[in-house]
Structure 1
């Protein structure tokens, strides 16, 4: 099987707007994104897993593979993820389709999607989909490279969310910050 770095680089060169990162997420960022997930977490969804760095960290925390569902657009990433993570459900579909293909009641949605580089209507559809499948006390976890939250204040207010700003992850290229969103 091709290495995740080689696959990442090849997909980045072929479709830089879709990959939208200069390097795969670091293991340190993956640990920060998956904090609080464990064997008894319940169902978890990941948006935009790419080569599976966060997927790997989620499973390393003890989540059973059958409790993890991935949404990935890129066909080559989907093929790679299905081979690398048996037992995990992988949909070749946009994150905004999650409510149409799965039941609600999810405990956590982990997102590696570049929300700030997306058109507003797509970003809003993705975040709305996350909260449509999340349980009432569920959390949406998203990172960003910038100095502000990955959702604009008006979206946070319109969805009635509260935000927990995590630590800066310096051991990532570029450095990133993790945010957790919950219903207020």
Structure 2
């Protein structure tokens, strides 16, 4: 959920009225993101695998190795844009970021919140046939998709499409609520992809684990 653990702001010594207004706006935006996420989850709980937006702590972990020198970045299942915002704060240029979001409601919100960022209201399984960044190789892929909730053939289609765009040695940075691999063993055996756990945080609802998926 939004990582904004502050009381209702009020004008006080050392806190100006302008700062109070800024904090109030941030709190309203945070609550709005939570409500949007819950509406989408209620309408499609299997598609929206999480029950709340990812925390800022998880966003920092999952984007830790990405920066302005990474080059083009694809984000799968950005939802309300928590990871998107972190990627931009890491120095990724808007024109070097492509968001793949199946939910039309989320996609419209992302377009409004992140001008200059390409938002594709499509399934991640379409990646194989999509032309992104003029064919330039992608430096990293960040994924918030619930791969464990998907059929094996769909997961394979997504990963095959991802690695069509990734540069050699590139990886999918994937989070999961499971302490075990976010990709089932059967998929790994068929594809030859490898999975390594690289981080975790308990400051998320539920606690989350971060993995790198690579091409063997």
Instruction: Please give the range of the TM-score, normalised by the shorter of the 2 chains.
Output: over 0.9
The structural deviation recorded for 1:10 is: 1.6
Contact 1:104-1:134 within 8 A present in 2 as well: no
Alignment deviations for residues 100-122 of structure 1 (CA, whole Å, 9 cap, x no partner): 12235111111100000111111
Secondary structure, counterpart of 1:8 in structure 2: helix
Q: Cα distance, 1:11 vs. partner?
A: 1.3
Q: Which runs of 4+ in 1 moved over 6 A?
A: none
Which is higher, the Rg of structure 1 or of structure 2?
2
| Paired positions, count | 184
Residue number in structure 2 paired with 1:178: 210
Q: CA deviation at 1:174?
A: 0.7
Q: What's the Cα RMSD here?
A: 1.6
The 1-side partners of 2:199 and 2:77 are apart by 22
Contact persistence 2:169–2:214 (CA under 8 A): yes
Q: CA deviation at 1:128?
A: 1.3
Partner of 1:116: 148
**Structure 1 residues 17 and 152, CA, compared in 2 at 3 Å: closer, same or farther?**
closer
Q: Does 2:137 correspond to 1:105?
A: yes
TM-score (norm 2): 0.80
Alignment partner for residue 155 of structure 1, among 182, 187, 212? 187
State the shift of 1:68 in Å: 0.2
Deviation of 1:171 (Å): 0.6
Q: What are structure 1's unaligned runs of at least 5 residues? A: none
Q: Which moved more, 1:126-135 or 1:159-168?
A: 159-168
Q: Report whether the alignment pairs 1:96 with 2:121.
A: no
State the partner residue of 1:140: 172
Pairing partner for 1:76 from 105, 117, 120: 105
Secondary structure at the aligned position of 2:66 is classed as coil
Instruction: Mark the runs of 5 or more structure 2 residues left unpaired by the alignment.
Output: 1-27
Does structure 2 conserve the Cα–Cα contact (< 8 Å) formed by 1:30 and 1:53? yes
What TM-score results when the alignment is normalised by the length of structure 1? 0.93
Deviation, structure 1 residue 168: 2.1
Instruction: Look up the SS of the partner of 2:168 in the other structure.
Output: strand
